[in-house]
Homo-oligomer: A and B are copies of this chain.
């Protein structure tokens, strides 16, 4: 389970966990039906409290990414990918909206914004 935790990030730890697991599920690095590490083992390997992992798993379950069963562990759900991707697109649009607003308010030409966006999109990460 390759999850990277940063204590300095602005995001809470449990959210760092959920977003990375969501990404693994969407990229099918984790496939439907596969089991996730137990809360305790993941907490240990991330050097994090069990409760923090529990909160992450709880959120993932509520959002339909995983299913958990007492005594048996947690498993990747058969996933409804469309919902997740629509949500992601909505989030991307929000950020574009903010960037556009700032740009307009500060006389940054649209062409410059487009250029920057293209640059970031092309980056190999």
List residues of chain A with CB under 8 Å of any chain B CB.
Answer: 7-8, 12, 23, 26, 62, 67, 69-72, 85, 88-89, 91-93, 95-106, 108, 110, 113-114, 116-118, 120-123, 125
Asked if residues B102 and A99 are in contact (CB atoms below 8 Å), the reply is no
Asked if residues A92 and B121 are in contact (CB atoms below 8 Å), the reply is no
Q: B residues within 8 A CB of A26? A: 105-106
From B12, B62, B96, B104, contact of A99 by CB (8 A): B96
Closest to A72 in B: B7
How far does the alpha carbon of A108 sit from the alpha carbon of B95 in the complex, in Å?
Answer: 14
Asked if residues B121 and A104 are in contact (CB atoms below 8 Å), the reply is yes
**Given A7-B72, A96-B95, A99-B99, are A88 and B105 neighbors across the interface (CB < 8 Å)?**
yes
Asked if residues A95 and B105 are in contact (CB atoms below 8 Å), the reply is no
Asked if residues B117 and A121 are in contact (CB atoms below 8 Å), the reply is no
Asked if residues A89 and B106 are in contact (CB atoms below 8 Å), the reply is yes
Given contacts A95-B95, A99-B117, A110-B118, 14 further A-B contacts (CB under 8 A): A7-B69, A8-B69, A62-B62, A92-B103, A92-B106, A93-B99, A95-B98, A96-B117, A97-B120, A99-B99, A100-B117, A110-B117, A110-B122, A114-B117
